Amino acid sequence: MAKGDYRLSDVVLDETIGRSTPDVEHERAVAIFDLIEENRFEPVGHPGGPYHLLLSLVDSKLVFSIKTESGEDVATHILSLTPLRRIIKDYFMICESYYEAIRSATPSQIEAIDMGRRGIHNDGSQTLMDRLKGKIDLDFDSARRLFTLVCVLYWRG
């Protein structure tokens, strides 16, 4: 194990997440790929990974089960999603507006909606970082990718 290798090398969604439509499954796979491709993921107090992350849902809470690549248990964190629910709902609503605008709005209207969409995404990413503070350190770009994955877990297609 390379000391200080603070990154995810694998993310798995367990059966509690459930399966969905092919479109949703594709979006989940893309979100996982993007997260694994580039991230900083540092479980507080652990000397280094890389890490495998198993995500599951238990009683409407997101469970982060973290192991090293060799299978050593690192930590399990249970995260209430209540503080994120409103942001996720707003994010889905503005994404719908964005996709609708692409079909019929002016470029300046599309840009304005996209700026709002990015702002809500940033709010969700910061909230996620705040919720994980003291448990898992992430940089902002990694938090954005993780927030995207959390959103996709809720997307029904």
The per-residue pLDDT for range 74-131, each reduced to its tens digit, is 999 999 989 999 999 999 899 889 889 999 999 999 999 999 999 999 999 999 999 9
Does residue 143 have a pLDDT over 70?
Answer: yes
- The confidence score (pLDDT) of residue 156 equals 57
- The confidence score (pLDDT) of residue 144 equals 94
In the numeric block, which tokens belong to residue 34?
A: 């993007």
Q: What percent of the chain has pLDDT over 70?
A: 96
CA dihedral 131, 9, 29, 44 (to 10 degrees): 0
SS3 81: coil
What is the overall mean pLDDT for the chain? 91
CA distance 21 to 50: 31
* Contacts (Cβ under 8 Å, ≥6 apart) of 144: 121, 122, 125
Backbone angles phi, psi at 66, to 5 degrees: -110, 130
Whole-prediction pTM value?
0.88
Does residue 2 have a pLDDT over 90?
Answer: no
Does residue 1 have a pLDDT over 70?
Answer: no
140-154 and 107-132 helices cross at what angle (nearest 10)? 100
- In angstroms, the Cα distances linking 38 to 4, 29, 34, 82, 142 are 16, 15, 7, 27, 7
- In angstroms, the Cα distances linking 4 to 14, 45, 49, 50, 105 are 27, 11, 7, 9, 48
Each domain of the chain, given as residue ranges in start order, spans: 8-154
CA distance 122 to 28: 19
